[in-house]
Structure 1
Amino acid sequence: MLQRLIADVKESTGHTVRLTTLALAAAVGLFFTTCFLCAAAFVAVLQRYGLVAACLTGAAIFFVATLIAAASYMARKRALAKQAARAAEATRSAAQSLFADPMLLASGLQVVRMIGVKRLVPLLAVGGLALGLLARGQMSDSAEAAE
């Protein structure tokens, strides 16, 4: 069980590092492409209209690029917040429906009577830890599936 958990963490970390490296390479390529396109636009406007117009054109190009980046950032942030709220609501409703089941409550009371409260506390602590790890793994899996 522990080996599988460690292997999952290693695999997840490896995927994250690879994806981050690819995103960084794409960002560097996009940066240089944008630099050369801006330089070409600057030179073309400089030859046709003069220095002031060329500088204003360069500023306008970077301003538009900044607005696009800010808008995409805000849209992504809102989408992630909505997804997190949906996941939290689903987790809460699933937990509430389990505890509202009378058969589950009756079974729980019988287990407490059989085992005893003093022996049950460490078992509940381990079970709560396992449930937390399971819920965290399911939330990260659903976040990866949404992307």
Structure 2
Amino acid sequence: MVRFKNRWLLVELIPAPQTPSSAAPARLDGQKIWASLKQSIITNFGDVGWGSVGLSMSVKYYSPTTNICIIRVARDHHKIAWGALTLLTAIEGTRYIPNVVHLSGTVKHTQLAAVAHNRAVIARIRAQAKTPSGYQDSYEEYLKTSAMEIEALQD
């Protein structure tokens, strides 16, 4: 029996600066990210590109607080998904800059990288707000719940 091998992409979706006349950004979720990524693959790599990654690609996790996303794709064609992510400019009409933070062959290493990335982003938010390090805020609860959600992901 042959094992199905995956690659796990940890992606940060950085919102691009909006023009004053543009509407408020739409609330993202995994389905909207998947649909936009599908459209990017079809546009840039055609039906053959979509056929090679379509069955294996899925968005496993998305956090609106830190804008990170975990995407699973088959190992053989993960470069097509990564290329489509790089060429992705907008999701639901809102401009985003995708940044692939981590690529891994196992879900465990992706989970560890996601938790570490969440902590780094929250530390940056706290530094910008100039809060003392011992200050208890709502981000502590977020870090606990997001770590539990990420660790609950299965292959």
User: What TM-score comes out, normalization by structure 1 length?
Assistant: 0.26
User: What TM-score comes out, normalization by structure 2 length?
Assistant: 0.25
Larger relative CO (CA 8 A, sep 6+): 1 or 2? 2
Query: Higher helix proportion, which one?
Result: 1
Query: Higher strand proportion, which one?
Result: 2
